[in-house]
């Protein structure tokens, strides 16, 4: 049985149901998949992860952290700094690597 990914992100290429799909969006437990030349489809995350042939094809080295630019705008400086600290901490816990090693330079 293949290893399951620790993270699934928008933009990842996945194998599911015998075909390659791009993860277009994740919202709650729903995953929107787009197969080249086909209409988008929506599946539950549980259904996707339990697929016999499910696999994240995107190499880990290509995966990037999406910037949250603009999300913290308007917050007091102290709250924004604290949110940025939590982001770095959580990314390191989930990936095993510090955030600054995952960001493009």
Alpha carbons within 13 angstroms on the beta-carbon side of residue 57 total 13
Q: Do 10 and 26 touch, CB atoms closer than 8 A? A: yes
So what's the pLDDT on residue 3?
55
The residue ranges of every structural domain in the chain are: 13-56, 64-105
User: What pLDDT shows up at residue 26?
Assistant: 87
The contacts of residue 25 (CB under 8 Å, 6+ apart) are 10, 31, 32
**Higher pLDDT among residues 50 and 94, named by residue:** 50
Higher pLDDT, 82 or 36: 82
What are the pLDDT digits (tens) for 51-64? 999 998 876 555 55
- Model confidence band, residue 20 (pLDDT cutoffs 50, 70, 90): very high
83 vs 101 pLDDT, higher one? 83
Could you say which DSSP state residue 103 is in?
S
End-to-end Cα distance, the chain = 36
Q: CA 19: distance to chain centroid?
A: 19
């Amino acid at each position: 049985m293949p290893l399951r990914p620790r993270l699934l992100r928008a933009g990842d290429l996945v194998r599911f149901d015998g075909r390659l799909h791009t993860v277009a969006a994740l919202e709650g437990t729903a995953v929107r998949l787009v197969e080249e030349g086909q209409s988008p489809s929506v599946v539950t995350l549980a259904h996707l992860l339990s697929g016999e042939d499910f696999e994240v094809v995107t190499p880990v080295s290509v995966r990037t952290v999406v910037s949250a630019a603009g999300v913290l705008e308007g917050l007091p400086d102290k709250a924004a700094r604290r949110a940025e600290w939590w982001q770095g901490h959580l990314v390191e816990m989930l990936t095993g690597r510090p955030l600054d090693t995952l960001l493009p330079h």
